[in-house]
Amino acid sequence: MVLQSHKRIMALAGVVMTAYLVFHMLSNLSFFSPDTFEQFYTVYNGVGLRWLALVVMLIAIATHVKIAIKIRKVNAKARTIDYARHDKFKNPAVFVTISILFLLSFILIHIVQSLLFDTSQLYAELIHLFQSFIMVLFYLAGLFVLTMHLQHSLANVLQTLGKTAVIYHSLVWAGVLSLTGGFASIPLYIYFVMP
């Protein structure tokens, strides 16, 4: 019972984060039209929307992670004996933990970088950031893990809703890849295409 309500709050935090991500990706795509990009971020930062987005995202991330840890602890307790008996291979949960920790670090590092940006010249800041090959790799790796995480979580949601048909899974893949592909287009364009 407690777990059900926890899962609902976790899913709600997931919805808030996904909504922000769609909005953030679409606003970042205006990078391909420098004037629109500048106009958008002048208003966004001018009316303080960035602080609202930041606070909402930090609360959503903290809630999501806290509940995920709680659910994981409960599940681990419930299954210790069964898994220990059959476990001949290394526990794949270790890789999941590492990838989630990487995703969290990526998001936190990105937020710190965004706070250090000179907001009066965000366009130039992004160009400067993605002239570094290491930064391009770091962002692509973060977006790759985000893709796997979103796909896996949404597949679980589909399963819970009893939607197991291939079409639903294809739609999830299409949505997730459009989102992360949209984000990835910016570092790739800056590094490989821009003069």
Distance from chain centroid for Cα 177: 12
Of 22, 40, 100, 117, the residue at the interface with ligand HEM (CB under 6 A) is 117
- Amino acid identity of residue 16, one-letter, is V
Q: Pseudo-torsion of CA 57, 60, 65, 70, nearest 10°?
A: 170
Collect all residues with Cβ–Cβ distance below 8 Å to 179 and sequence separation of at least 6: 21, 22, 25, 150
Which x/- pattern, by CB under 6 A, does the window 64-103 give for ligand HEM?
----------------------------------------
Looking at the Cβ atoms of 107 and 158, the one nearer to ligand HEM is 107
Residues in region 17-46 near ligand HEM by CB under 6 A: 21, 24, 28, 41, 44-45
Of 10, 13, 126, 145, the residue at the interface with ligand HEM (CB under 6 A) is 126
**CA-CA distance, 13 to 11, in Å (whole number)?**
5
Measure the CA angle with vertex 85, ends 83 and 90; round to 5°.
60
Residues that bind ligand HEM (CB under 6 A): 21, 24, 28, 41, 44-45, 50, 53-54, 57, 107, 110-111, 114, 117, 119, 122, 126, 139, 146, 183, 186-187
